[in-house]
Amino acid sequence: MAVIRVEFFSNCLIRQVAFEMFVPNDFRDDVPRQHEQYYKRKCKTVFVLHGFKGWGKGWTHMYELADKYNLALVFPSGENHFYLDTEDSAGKYGTFIGVELVDYIRRTFGLCSSRDDTYISGLSMGGFGALRTGFAYPDTFGKIAALSSALIMHEICGMKPGEFYQVGNYYYFRNCFGDLDKLLESDNNPETLIKKNIKQGKNIPEIFMACGTDDFLLAHNKRFYDFLITHNVKAEYIEDNGGHDMEFWNKYFAKSFEWMA
């Protein structure tokens, strides 16, 4: 497994940024399976979005999954910005993931050249990011896997200075999501994007969602799944024992990669 770290200039963030990749293309002579696998079928690419407090580093557990399912994994840094374009001219985190980074990986590595081999996944804030980015660029991503997703649009809309919600204050969410009074109608709300996709006859990416029954975000995930059902959008939705922790994510990244591959 090759571990690749790239530093490049992002026009969306107007500075040098770094991301990491796991790419299963260094064939060990002592593991003959790797050669066969590579030449039999091209690997698919999954963009993996971390949660709040996290950053763009591959989790070791995924190292083995990348090998097992022949997946190239890309780990960008979202810097606690919910993977959204902000009003700040130097903070286009949404376009960074959905356009600039995909283009760069495509041009540099010859990976993720079509919708059929370009997937996106994430956990918590990154689960939100995977859903929103997938719906914002439905022609780019073929599949979305969203774990324990921070689908908190309804909780933070209308938030005021002086208020705090779970991980941040008003200014934090204002900075990430823009005008919080207009959040639900904006493209920062995945529900709005779903409706637009339907209206425009877009091919919505396939969806895999999972959430632990002890997760404080369980209700948020259930609500979003109900929204999908109501709008006749198919999704694999799983509730299972577990909390908002690596134990649950290790289990469900494995399941979601199996679903993708």
Interface with its own copies by CB under 8 A: which residues? 1-11, 13-17, 23, 25-29, 52-55, 57, 59-61, 79-80, 86-91, 104, 107-110, 164, 167-169, 171-172, 174-175
> What's the CA gap between 64 and 58, in Å, rounded?
11
> What's the CA gap between 106 and 207, in Å, rounded?
23
Q: At a CB cut-off of 8 Å and minimum separation 6, what does 16 contact?
A: 7, 8, 9, 10
Nearest residue (CB) to its own copies, 26 versus 181:
26
Nearest residue (CB) to its own copies, 6 versus 238:
6
Q: Residue 44 pairs with which residues in a beta bridge? A: 71
* Cα–Cα separations (whole angstroms), residue 201 to 33, 151, 196, 204: 42, 24, 8, 9
Nearest residue (CB) to its own copies, 10 versus 121:
10
Nearest-CA neighbor of 126 among 80, 170, 88?
80
Nearest residue (CB) to its own copies, 57 versus 154:
57
- From the CB of 68, what's the least distance to its own copies, in Å? 14
- From the CB of 206, what's the least distance to its own copies, in Å? 28
Nearest residue (CB) to its own copies, 17 versus 136:
17
> What's the CA gap between 38 and 25, in Å, rounded?
7
Q: Let me know: does 112 contact 94? Beta carbons within 8 Å.
A: no
Both tokens assigned to 57: 């580093």
- From the CB of 39, what's the least distance to its own copies, in Å? 11
